[in-house]
Structure formats: C-alpha cells, structure tokens
C-alpha cells in the first residue's frame, strides 16, 4: 500500500500515526475497494468494517462519511497507479508502458465501480487525473521515442481505449486478456 501521507499534490488522505491504527486504516481501504468492486458503492459499511476485521466505530473514526471512504479508496488507487509508473520506469520502453497500462486497467475497474459517486467536476478528480497523465506521459514518450507506438497515437487515445476494453464484459479472463492484447497491438508499430 502506498504511503498516503505523501499524497498527490493538493489531495490528502491522512493515515494514522500509530502502527495498529495504520493497519486498521489500510485494512478498511482494502476491504472497501474489494466491496465496491464486487457489490457496488451501496454496500453496507458494516460489511466493509467486518471484512476489514474492525468495528463500525473504527470505520467511522477514519471515514466519517461514505463519501470520505469512496474518495480515500479512489485516491489510494491513484497513488498506486503513480507508484506503478515509477516502478515501471526502469524497464524497456514498450515493457514499461505495457506494465503500466495493465495496472491502469485495474484502476479503471475500481473507478467504474465508484463512478456514480465520484464528482468528475471536483477539484479532487481533476488533480488526480492530471497526476495520472503526468505519471504516464514519460512512459508513453519513451515508447514513442523508441519507435514502439504507431504515428499519430496520443496518450489520451490509449487511455480511453484501455478504459473501454476494461469496461467490457467478457466470458472469462482468457477472453479479456485476448482483447487487451488486441488493443495493445493496435497502438504498437
């Protein structure tokens, strides 16, 4: 889990200082992410607390409202996406971009589950989107410079395509992977 105390500039999710409280906080974020993905954003908060192994009072102490929890899950997902871009930076240009796009696909799945609760016009959403594009930009630019990306393809085109692929419904994981590979093949020289 990323250090949410060092967040996206302008957006803050403050983690507790005590180790046990941080563990509870992280468990709540993980349980909420899984619950939102599996059951939608209207899942009972009591179920999230139970899945995290904490009481409902601990959930409310960390996240006074459902919206606070949703935003914390979203911001933590963005932080992980930014870290994935940093981690992929040492790889060869195409491998770095593909690795990051696979992580981006996971982010899209979480975002889709929470889309109805996220205000796309909010400052938080705009800052997160900007940070995400800034993290992916160098990976994309390296792949372009290495001749790995077709002429005329823009980063925004790729992210929209991967978002669409991720949002699709598939018979199984094998089909999802085939479609993802086709999408990657469409941008690669």
Task: Quote the pTM value.
Answer: 0.83
Q: Give domain limits for the chain.
A: 19-187
Whether 11 shows a pLDDT value over 70: the answer reads: no
Average pLDDT, the chain: 89
How would residue 10 be classed by pLDDT, with cut points 50, 70 and 90? low
- pLDDT at position 17: 78
What CATH number should be reported for the domain whose range is 19-187? Answer: 1.10.357.10
Q: For residue range 107-160, list pLDDT tens digits in order.
A: 887 787 777 777 778 888 888 889 999 999 999 999 999 999 999 999 999 999
CA 69/CA 27 separation, integer angstroms? 12
Q: 88-127 in b/e burial notation, b at 16+ Cβ within 10 A?
A: beeeebbebbbbbbebbbebbebbebbeebbeeeeebbeb
């Amino acid at each position: 889990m990323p250090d949410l105390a060092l967040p996206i500039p302008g957006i803050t999710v403050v983690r507790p200082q005590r180790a046990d409280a941080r563990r509870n906080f992280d468990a709540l974020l993980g349980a909420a992410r899984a619950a939102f993905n599996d059951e939608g954003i209207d899942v009972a908060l009591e179920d999230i607390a139970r899945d995290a192994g904490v009481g409902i009072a601990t959930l409310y102490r960390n996240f006074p409202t459902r919206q606070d929890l949703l935003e914390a899950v979203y911001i933590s997902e963005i932080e992980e996406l930014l870290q994935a871009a940093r981690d992929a930076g040492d790889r060869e240009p195409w491998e770095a971009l593909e690795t990051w796009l696979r992580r981006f696909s996971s982010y899209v799945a979480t975002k889709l589950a929470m889309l109805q609760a996220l205000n796309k016009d909010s400052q938080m959403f705009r800052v997160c989107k900007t940070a995400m594009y800034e993290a992916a930009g160098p990976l994309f630019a390296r792949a372009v410079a290495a001749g790995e990306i077709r002429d005329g393809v823009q980063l925004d085109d790729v992210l929209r395509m991967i978002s669409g692929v991720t949002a699709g419904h598939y018979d199984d994981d094998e089909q999802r992977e085939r479609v993802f590979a086709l999408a990657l093949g469409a941008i690669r020289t």
